[in-house]
Structure 1
Amino acid sequence: MIASLVTLLTTTLAVGALGQAPAGAVVPEPPRPAFYEAPATLPSANGAVIRSEKMTFLLDPLDATSLVRNANRVLYRTTNRAGRAIAASGTVLVPNAPWIGVGSRPVIGYAPGTQGMADRCAPSRLFSEGIEYEGIGIEALLLRGYAVAMPDYEGLGTAGVHTYMDRVSQGRATLDAIRAAQRLSGTGLSPSSPVGIMGYSQGGGAAASAVELASTYAPDLKVRGAVVGAVPADLARVATTLDGGLYSAFAFFALRGLSASYDVDLAPYLNDRGRAVSDQVEQECVFDLLNHAFVKSSTLSASGRPMSALMEQEPFRSIVEAQRIGTIKPTVPVLVTHSALDDVIPYAVGRQLARSWCGRGANVWFSTNLAPLHVGGIVPQTAEALPFFEARFAGLPQLSNCWAI
């Protein structure tokens, strides 16, 4: 699995020079498939399915997985951070084999990790191309018999800029993807299906936000627990770690995505090169990581100061603080995992998230591992998720280790 991820992360695609539109404006992209275009009028309910279509789900050259999985691409209604109804796309995967567990088949809302910013990066498109790295991570869930609902998030695949790292938008899109899966005909799922939430890295942030928001935004969902790994709960600390490193592009994704969500024009804060990079990253996927590796944000800013300094002034200070995760108590058990060797999301950030939730009275188990770097941390998380969900769906309590964090 690690080798597959490393291969994806080190594949560099050529990206041509782009014109310098005002930073924050939507950069023209190749036409989207018609499936991803929202209708003029959206359904009234969050999670309502607008349309769906069968899709291939390539985990092998012959796509044998499609013989045992009911794979659908979905377009559904959700509500973004600003309270506007939007269409988001996603994927629903359901094993064809009958559910052999207690009760009805559970559905896991699986929030994907960083995909990129361009519409072509949407997991619901990449699955059918055989290059969606999260396919490996969810395979164990499908083999257990769970259904999986995976959002593409706001603006990823659909119209507009992907609001990367927007806490509320990502959390809501994840919860509404679960609702869409439960309402999709032919899957055997229903609103009474027990629910789990899971994600790592960007997906860890989305899953953590989803479990915080579930009791108020989606009280109809029967959420039993959540597994969140390498959560970017404190963006200011994460940005400092990323600056000038291998994963610098992730910080540029966040700057672009959050400025779009909050309608902030970045142009005055960037120099010519910065504006060009801001436009370029909107056209890129995670495979294009090396295009911006080891680029220091100070070389892109109009003032010559790093992004960390930009985050200390308004409106960015308030925007970044609004993305903090850990301020709302989850009402279900949560497993928080983090590698002490993580080179992207500082281990201390994950530990502080667990402490914050514990301080609010949440049922938390914090699990430290020594997996190599950020990429490696998803392996122990996946291994721990299976017994966690097995216990939650069986109605067993989780023993908290808040006293030891």
Structure 2
Amino acid sequence: MKSLVRPAAALAAAFVALTPVTGQAADRPPFYEPPAHLPPHNGDVIRHERSFFYLDPFKHTHANAAVQRFMYRTTDRKGTPIAVTGTVLTPNTPYGHTGPRPIIAFAPGTQGLADKCAPSRQMPEGTEYEGLPVKHLLDQGWGVVVTDYQGLGTPGVHTYMTREAQGRAVLDSLRAAQRVPGTDLPADGPVALYGYSQGGGASAAAAELAPTYAPELALKGAVVGAPPADLDAVAANLDGSAYGAFFNYSLSGLGAAYDIDVDAYLSRHGQQVTADLRHNQCTTQALAKYPFLNSRFLTSDGRPLTERLARAPWKEVVADQRLGAHAPTVPVLLSHSRNDDVIPFRVGEGLAKDWCARGTTVKFSPNRVLGHILATAATSNEGAPWLRDRFAGRAAPSTC
């Protein structure tokens, strides 16, 4: 199959890459501008090129892997074909285990909304804050593919927190990684999902969607860290907190996905702040510039936007993003800190219970690491050996 899939993908990529691009933004490199016509299948590769992955902004340390940046076809939440970008990495060392080299779909955590925040743009600059978890997966000998999601790097507002769009982008990144020419990754080998925070939600969404959206993938398991499974609970915790910018990201992203004009709710100051977050600030800069951002200081009527979530159209939009209504058919490791200051512990605990009730094999792994950011290391440290066991065919543990 490998010999058939890759030449077909290369032909499709060559054909589509020659199609003229239109409407390129001034700050968007030509690589990120989609062609006028997309290839026919989800996961089809549109274009690819050599890239780099540095672990520091001084570019002293790079990952021991071959790196390619690529554009591929996926679909948005409505099922409309779209182009998104990503990065695929293959370790330079041979895979030292039985069977083909596995591929991990790494679903990124919150990067920001500006195009410059796309992981495929930050990895070559050494500014990707999740560089160490990605390297940890590469160190296991696994291939890794990192999606940029819809609208992050490519045109449009990044549809942050949109369950179906994120889950599809992750699954189609695996399909694309199997088709990018020159990666030396198997076209039909074992794959798995990994993500923390926004990435945990995207990994969870992909695990729920996989049985119907990508049943051909040889999916072995999913690592889900601190998933924002219930946006009502997350929003109440975020608005006005040190991570208040994330709440603003959610409104912008969901508004873009559901064609809701968020600016209509905002004062002139609120519109200015939101535009700045959409176009200029990546996560670390946004948190430093807008600490304790409270939506009531951004709205035209002085009421917090959390009040809107209980009414149409936002009530239905938020309900659409709820995780746990569908059962993954592969084992899941769900890691969450009891001291998470961004996504309440009870949200991850509730998702584990929902999946258990629907028959999924879940290992729910609480920890007591202080804070959301530091707890990503706990997920990384536990996730790698758990995935190693899944690829070895060992029985998955369950806490259900």
Q: Partner residue of 2:55?
A: 59
Give the CA deviation at 1:140.
Answer: 1.3
1:200 aligns with 2:193: no
What is the aligned partner in structure 1 of residue 348 from structure 2? 350
Partner of 1:261 in structure 2? 257
Alignment counterpart, residue 284 of structure 2, candidates 284, 287, 294: 287
Q: Which residue of 2 aligns with 1:315?
A: 313
1:276 offset after TM fit, Å? Answer: 1.9
Distance of 1:140 and 1:116 partners within structure 2: 23
Q: Is the 8 A contact 2:59 2:125 kept in 1?
A: no
1:154 matched to 2:154:
no
Which string of whole-angstrom CA distances, capped at 9 and with x for unpartnered residues, describes residues 316-373 of structure 1? 0000010001111000000000000000000000000101111111110100001110
Residue ranges of structure 2 left out of the alignment (5+ in a row) = 1-23
Question: Is 2:217 the counterpart of 1:235?
Answer: no
Q: Which stretch shows the higher mean deviation, 292-301 or 163-172? A: 292-301
Runs ≥4 in structure 1, deviation > 6 angstroms? none
Partner of residue 304 from structure 1, selected from 295, 302, 305: 302
Are the equivalent residues in 1 in contact too, given 2:101–2:186 (CA < 8 A)? no
Structure 1 contact 249–292 (Cα < 8 Å) conserved: yes
Match of 1:123 among 119, 125, 132: 119
Alignment of 1:305-384 (within 5 A): 305-384=303-382
Deviations along 1:86-132, whole A, 9 cap, x unmatched? Answer: 11000000001111112100000000000000000000010010110
- Aligned partner of 1:107 in structure 2 is 103
SS at match of 1:52: strand
Aligned match of 2:3? none
Match of 2:8 in 1: none
SS of the residue aligned with 1:238? Answer: helix
State the secondary structure of the residue aligned to 2:365.
Answer: strand
1:41 pairs, out of 37, 41, 52, with: 37
Alpha-carbon distance in structure 1 between the residues aligned to 2:41 and 2:278:
30
Choose between structure 1 and 2 for higher RCO, CA contacts under 8 A separated by at least 6 residues.
1
| Greater alpha carbon shift after TM alignment, 286-295 vs 90-99 | 286-295
Q: Which amino acid aligns with 1:256?
A: S
Aligned to 1:7: none
The reply to whether residue 179 of structure 1 matches residue 175 of structure 2 is yes
Amino acid corresponding to residue 287 of structure 1 in structure 2? T
Give the letter aligned to residue 139 of structure 1: K
State the shift of 1:64 in Å: 5.3
Distance in 2 separating the partners of 1:90 and 1:69: 15
Instruction: Determine the C-alpha separation between the residues in 2 that align with 1:34 and 1:241.
Output: 39
Q: What's the secondary structure of 1:213's corresponding residue? A: helix
Aligned to 2:213: 217
User: Does the 8 Å CA contact 2:201/2:227 hold for their aligned counterparts?
Assistant: yes
User: What CA distance in whole angstroms lies between the structure 2 residues aligned with 1:256 and 1:137?
Assistant: 27
| TM-score, scaled relative to structure 2 | 0.91
Contact 2:89 2:143 in 1 (8 A): yes
Report what 1:5 is aligned to: none
Deviations 1:22-53 (A, max 9, x none): xxxxxx96421111111111010101110111
